[in-house]
Amino acid sequence: MARIVSSVQRADEFLEGAEQILSRTPEAGYRLDDSNVWFIGGHTVDVALYYTFDSDHVYFLSVEKVPPPEF
């Protein structure tokens, strides 16, 4: 994560926030087409977290840097 996000505090906040949300409502992310892979994007960091889940667990698959959104 340090290679992707320069601010350790922001990276930690993103991961902790994602963990809190996904542990309660994994459907809060966005599903990739018809796969079992979902993603959630950062609001304070330009990263996307990819994950999958079943009825008991959420599995983090990957974190990657993404371009910042254009407004």
5's tokens: 């996000």
Q: Please check whether residue 50 lies inside any domain of the structure.
A: yes
For 52, the domain range is 8-65
pLDDT digits (tens, 9 = 90+) for 1-53: 566 666 777 777 888 888 999 999 999 999 999 999 999 987 777 888 999 99
Beta strands in the chain (DSSP E): 30-31, 38-41, 47-53, 58-65
Q: Please check whether residue 3 lies inside any domain of the structure.
A: no
Q: Indicate the number of domains in the chain.
A: 1
pTM of the model: 0.78
Q: Please check whether residue 71 lies inside any domain of the structure.
A: no
Q: Please check whether residue 32 lies inside any domain of the structure.
A: yes
Q: Please check whether residue 19 lies inside any domain of the structure.
A: yes
Q: Please check whether residue 2 lies inside any domain of the structure.
A: no
